[in-house]
Amino acid sequence: MKNPLSIGLTCFLIVFNTINAQTPIEKKADSLLSVMNIEAKIGQMSQIDLGVLCKGKICELQDPLALDTAKLRLAFSKYKVGSVLNCGCGFHALARERWISIIDSIQQANRLFAGHDIPVLYGIDAIHGANYTIGATLFPQQIGQAATWNPDLVKAAAKITAYETRASGIPWNFSPVLDLARQPLWSRFFETYGEDVYLATRMTTACIEGYQGEKIGELQVAACMKHFLGYSYPLSGKDRTPAWIGDRELRAYFLPTFQEAIRLKAKTVMINSGEINGTPVHANPKILTGLLRDELGFDGVAVTDWEDIYKLHTLHRVAPSLRDAVKMAVMAGIDMSMTPNDFQFNELLLNLVKSGEVPESRIDVSVKRILKLKLELGIEKWDADYVRNYYPIFASPDFASVATATVSESLTLLKNELRNTTSDEAVLPLKQQDKVLVFGNAANSIKMLNGAWSQTWLGQDERYVDSTKPTILSALKFLATDKIIFANAADPKSCRRALKSKPSVAILCLGETPATEIPGNINQLELPVDENTRNLAKQLKAMNVPVVLVLCLGRPRIITEWAEAASAVLHTYLPGHEAAPVIASVLYGNINPSGKLPFTYPRYCGDIVHYDHKRTEDNDVNFGDKGYNPLYDFGFGLSYTRFQYSDLQVKAAKDTFFISVMVKNTGSRAGKEVVQVYYRDEYAAVTPSVKKLCGFMKIYATAGETKRVRFAIPAMQLGDIGADLKPFRAEGELKFFIGTETKQIQYNP
Ligand code: GLC
């Protein structure tokens, strides 16, 4: 029997060391917490939309936005609200100065009314640049950034986004989306880094490092990995509808990017609005506490998504009342409620604490995380004039040139065939003497280049379109003024005039109406193309005019008929404000495209199979293995030059595969190539994929240049998640693929 004295001493030492092991920020958070009453604590757990503080009705606000003193008093005096987000239902982009002054007023009102000096934490969706700040640099959406296969560009874009978000007075960015794009119908496909775990994880690393840096200062923002977990795979393809995802698949496909973000100390996480296997994630303690906290050790702030606590009652109907919904979500593990349009959350949670159904100790855990985040972001030092003067290169040409470089490396050439049967030249690059007819719904649209989350939530508001930015048409005219003729397919006169000009090439630009989330839901994967455009395309075909198809799409809509009829296909994804000149430069050959698809492009609506599919999905109707037949494969993209692979070498050391391959630029011009390493575990405890990406490197080679490209791939990286939900390493017969080369090895560590 141990003597009580030694037990007491041990306990004292544990407590003493724990307190002493506390960082200064933890100590400060504890001391703030110790003097807060329960109303103030609950206030820190509540987040409201900017619109709740402005004149006018929610989502029908007075424009331009104007703060309402009575509403400020209610929010901060009565409810001590700790966080505000976005820009009035996502409908009101603001100039940088306006952001600074509005946030300054909010901080002052908080100081005046709340009776404490805990600052308000402002959060915003700056998902492809500071897209709610007028004039900020807009980058390609994440899917286009993934198509660069260049993490350095993703990191640079994130750093600039962080700078311009901070320059707007905002320290918390609800980005990146780390969901995996495995459902092409899904309206937010474009917000992801594509379908592959390894590629998305590499881009995750780049983005979080870009946003948060080594240490968060005035040039960094708190990242928000979202939407945890399994949000991107709704069975129906419609946003926020049920996902049926087994635990093994959840861990094998949808968890790795979040694990990487947690490894990099992402400061916050936003929760998936949907349900997995019948349980809304906002009400799932297994995911929000068991997995996120206990297993993965995440100790940042977990914020709900929009109104998702209430939706446990109003939509998912797993909570018989709003009060039950608040209790469920808080006890499941959320820290902050993006309520965001009223204060019922505050009142209901206070009632739950007073009744003892939610212990105050549970509240303290969340509030401490929130206080720590605020202290780490240094927002108690808020000074509007300092913000006004501290970010001199906001929206600078240098930042725009990074966006240009990102677009340049994202554009993906998917097809480039001979102009016609009598020519021995590919249709691209265009010739200066070409007469070019330009048509299609994306030819003269800036909105279709940006997609949603561009000045406004859905990116559809003409008032905010930056007309100083070129469209594809205007950029082409800039390069080849008198050779470009636009045909408005809806205007017969315009079509007649254009056809009369006897074009030698036509460029058909097809896009989607910008949208996201539920407004972006579709009922068919096929890309709808209007009758007038179809008719004009038919006339051009009858005239044997080769067509170059330019896609401005956030998800792989079915375009098979158009791609097969075209002589060339260039995918631009949703390339952002600086895109048009780059697209024109690629079409005229001034830039050699080097983008590669970050997803498998399906040929048919009913044939959604990914590159990392299983052997059974290779089966075709003749019991052969030609069943996998996408329009374009994952990782595919052409160049204006050609690359030849040879001499693949694979050496397996104890914990590392040393792989190298020779790459030769056999064409007539310099270019960039993404050297991609795939592997196959021939036999495994769970059905192995026919191949999986395990490494890539983007190289540059001049015409005729040969390079040996080397990889050192940790053996632990090759493997899968077993039926026991534990990771296992690939071993036994392994095959490696790079370009046209393959190598089989026996690996028994
Ligand atoms: C939206 C989105 C989420 C976004 C949040 C705040 O519903 O799902 O990605 O960060 O609301 O705008």
pLDDT band per the 50, 70, 90 thresholds, residue 481: confident
Ligand 1 centroid to Cα of residue 82, in Å, is 18
Ligand 1 centroid to Cα of residue 515, in Å, is 13
Confidence (pLDDT) at 423: 84
Q: Which protein residue has the closest C-alpha to ligand 1 atom 11?
A: 306
Q: Which protein residue has the closest C-alpha to ligand 1 atom 8?
A: 305
Confidence (pLDDT) at 21: 80
Q: Which atom of ligand 1 is nearest to the CA of 177?
A: 9
Ligand 1 centroid to Cα of residue 49, in Å, is 11
pLDDT in tens, 434-465: 999 999 999 999 999 999 999 999 999 999 99
Q: Which atom of ligand 1 is nearest to the CA of 273?
A: 8
pLDDT band per the 50, 70, 90 thresholds, residue 396: very high
Q: Which protein residue has the closest C-alpha to ligand 1 atom 10?
A: 174
Q: Which atom of ligand 1 is nearest to the CA of 86?
A: 12
Bridge partners of 746? 733
86 lines ligand 1 (CB under 6 A): yes
What value, to the nearest 5°, has the Cα angle with vertex 174 and ends 173 and 176? 100
- In 519-558, the DSSP E strands lie at 547-552
Confidence (pLDDT) at 386: 96
Angle between helices 579-587 and 472-480 (to 10 degrees): 50
Bridge partners of 60? 57
Q: Which protein residue has the closest C-alpha to ligand 1 atom 7?
A: 306
125 lines ligand 1 (CB under 6 A): yes
174 lines ligand 1 (CB under 6 A): yes
196 lines ligand 1 (CB under 6 A): no
Domain spans, the chain: 4-390, 411-587, 641-747
Mean pLDDT for 28-57 is 97
Ligand 1 centroid to Cα of residue 517, in Å, is 9
Say how far apart CA 436 and CA 480 lie, in whole Å: 9
Say how far apart CA 123 and CA 432 lie, in whole Å: 48
- Residue 430 preceded by cis peptide, ω within 30: no
Confidence (pLDDT) at 4: 64
Q: How far is CA 89 from CA 52, 138, 215, 341, 461, in A?
A: 9, 20, 32, 9, 13
Residue 403 has pLDDT above 80, yes or no: yes
Q: Kindly list the catalytic residues.
A: 305
Of the residues 305, 336, 453, which should be mutated to test ligand 1's pocket, given the most ligand atoms within 8 Å of the CB? 305
CATH T-level assignment (fold) for domain 4-390: TIM Barrel (3.20.20)
Ligand 1 centroid to Cα of residue 273, in Å, is 9
Confidence (pLDDT) at 292: 98
Confidence (pLDDT) at 421: 82
pLDDT band per the 50, 70, 90 thresholds, residue 17: low
Q: Which protein residue has the closest C-alpha to ligand 1 atom 1?
A: 306
226 lines ligand 1 (CB under 6 A): yes
CATH T-level assignment (fold) for domain 641-747: Immunoglobulin-like (2.60.40)
Mean pLDDT for 36-61 is 96
- 411-587 carries CATH number 3.40.718.10: no
Confidence (pLDDT) at 59: 86
Higher pLDDT, 2 or 214: 214
The answer to whether the CB of 473 falls within 8 A of the CB of 444 is: yes
Of the residues 174, 191, 458, which should be mutated to test ligand 1's pocket, given the most ligand atoms within 8 Å of the CB? 174
